[in-house]
C-alpha cells in the first residue's frame, strides 16, 4: 500500500537501467524527477503510459523535469521496451523489488478473484531537494504527462 505522501522525503534509491548504468535519487539533486512505477514492459496500458511520457518528454524537460521508470522486469526486457517505443528516458530493472518496496508500490493485487503480488501503478513527482511534491496513485495513462504538468504548475 502506498503510504508515502506529499511533503515526505523521497526514499533514497539506486538501481541499474537497461544499459547497466547506475541511477540513483542523488543524481537528480537540483532537478525535478518524475519517478513512475509500472507493472510490466510490453503490455498495453504500460506502453500507452510510457509513450505518453515519451511524446511529451521535450515539454517535461523544458520545465526542468527528468523522467525515470521502474518495474520488476529485467534489463533485457527493458531494452526491448525502450527500443520498440523509442523511449528517451531510463527504465530501472528492480527484479528484487527493493525500490518498489521502499516506495510502497509492491503489494497484493486482485484480478478476477485471484490474489497475487504486483506493482501498484504509481507516480511520484520529487522536487529539487528530494521531497515528494505529488503522488499519483491512479495515473491516467493516456494523459499522464499532462496531469503531471498541471499538478506542478
- 139 has a pLDDT exceeding 90: yes
What are the φ and ψ backbone dihedral angles of 131, each rounded to 5 degrees?
A: -105, 140
Q: What is residue 153's predicted lDDT score, i.e. its pLDDT?
A: 83
What is the DSSP track for 35-84? EEE-S-TTSHHHHHHHHHHHHTHHHHHHTTEEEEEEESS-HHHHHHHHHH
Closest among 4, 118, 20 to 12, alpha carbons compared: 4
Which residue segments constitute the domains of the chain, with CATH numbers given? 14-152 (3.40.30.10)
- 15 has a pLDDT exceeding 90: yes
What is the C-alpha to C-alpha distance for residues 28 and 25, in angstroms, rounded to an integer? 6
Which pLDDT tens digit goes with each residue over 45-65? Answer: 999 999 999 999 999 999 999
Q: Is the pTM of this model over 0.85?
A: yes
Helix and strand element counts for the chain (H, E): 5, 9
Q: Are 120 and 38 in contact (CB under 8 A)?
A: no
- 129 has a pLDDT exceeding 90: yes
Q: What is residue 1's predicted lDDT score, i.e. its pLDDT?
A: 82
**Residue 141 cell numbers, joined:** 495513462
| pLDDT average, residue stretch 30-43 | 97
- pLDDT > 90 fraction of the chain, expressed in percent and rounded: 96
Residues with active-site annotation: 46
* pLDDT band (50, 70, 90) for residue 131: very high
Q: What is residue 85's predicted lDDT score, i.e. its pLDDT?
A: 98
CB count within 10 Å of CB 110 equals 9
Strands 91-93 and 106-111: unpaired
Which pLDDT tens digit goes with each residue over 65-111? Answer: 999 999 999 999 999 999 999 999 999 999 999 999 999 999 999 98
Average pLDDT, the chain: 97
Amino acid at each position: 500500500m502506498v503510504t508515502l505522501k506529499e511533503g515526505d522525503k523521497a526514499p533514497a534509491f539506486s538501481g541499474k537501467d537497461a544499459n547497466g548504468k547506475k541511477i540513483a535519487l542523488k543524481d537528480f539533486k537540483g532537478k525535478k524527477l518524475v519517478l513512475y512505477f509500472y507493472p510490466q514492459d510490453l503490455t498495453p496500458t504500460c506502453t500507452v503510459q510510457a509513450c505518453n511520457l515519451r511524446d511529451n518528454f521535450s515539454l517535461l524537460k523544458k520545465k526542468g523535469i527528468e523522467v525515470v521508470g521502474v518495474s520488476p522486469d529485467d534489463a533485457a526486457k527493458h531494452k526491448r521496451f525502450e527500443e520498440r517505443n523509442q523511449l528517451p528516458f531510463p527504465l530501472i530493472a528492480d527484479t528484487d523489488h527493493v525500490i518498489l518496496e521502499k516506495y510502497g508500490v509492491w503489494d497484493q493485487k486482485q484480478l478476477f478473484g485471484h490474489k497475487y503480488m504486483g506493482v501498484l501503478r504509481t507516480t511520484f513527482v520529487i522536487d529539487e531537494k528530494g521531497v515528494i511534491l505529488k503522488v499519483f496513485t491512479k495515473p491516467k495513462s493516456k494523459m499522464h504527462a499532462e496531469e503531471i504538468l498541471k499538478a506542478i504548475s
